[in-house]
Structure 1
Amino acid sequence: MKEDPIKSFRNAFQGFLKEENLEHTYKQKQVIADWEKIMGKTIASRTTKMFFNQKTLFVKLSSAPLKSEMQNSKAQIIELIEKEIGKGEVEDVRFL
């Protein structure tokens, strides 16, 4: 039976990330790329900038009330991110 080429590529890509020690960086980029999927269109539309420093995600928001609300929901936000990319990749979220 032939191996599925998609699984084969996925395995090769994951092997490459692991070998080059890029897994963490890839997952960080995945969080930024999937922010709308993780948090929803409304929050994503009010997000102006995102970046990581170590395992802390910094999110710049254009709405002060939203920033306050998000600050109070940090634990739930980290849980949503962990559902998407796995545990241990994001330890803290800070809103600017």
Structure 2
Amino acid sequence: MRHGTTSIGDALREFLNKSRMKPRLTEVRIQENWEDIMGKTIARYTSGIQLIDGKLIITTTVAPLKQELSYSKDKIIKLVNEKLGENVVKEVIIR
């Protein structure tokens, strides 16, 4: 690559990192990878995943799953952040 030039991938990555779209795109990435991160059973019984200001909000109507997820908040943070390759999730809220 010549001096002073940037690849399209690098330019796009830089644009997205500075863009207001980044939080929404990160949320979509979490939603798309939710089954890989948490497994099929948990993914099947969670009805919503949102990311708002570093808070991952997980919605489920299954009471035992709510309890299990409440006990696993630190693990969920670790798994999601590892999957994304950056520290985006700071807190988990179960609804």
- Give the superposition deviation at 1:40: 0.9
Secondary structure of the residue aligned to 2:47 is strand
Q: Partner residue of 1:11?
A: 10
Shift of 1:82: 1.1
- Deviation per residue, 1:18-73 (Å, 9 max, x gap): 34354343222211221111111110000111212211011111311011011001
Deviation beyond 3 Å, 4+ runs, structure 1: 21-25
**TM-score with structure 2 setting the length:** 0.80
Counterparts of residues 1-80 of structure 1 (less than 5 Å): 8-80=7-79
Contact residue 23 and residue 51 of structure 2 kept, 8 A: no
Question: What's the % identity of the aligned pairs?
Answer: 31
What is the alpha-carbon distance in structure 2 between the residues aligned to residue 18 and residue 73 of structure 1? 29
Q: Distance in 2 between matches of 1:49 and 1:58?
A: 8
Secondary structure of the residue aligned to 1:36 is helix
Report the aligned-residue RMSD.
1.9
How many equivalent pairs are there? 90
Q: Any conservation in 2 of the 1:28–1:89 contact (CA below 8 Å)?
A: no
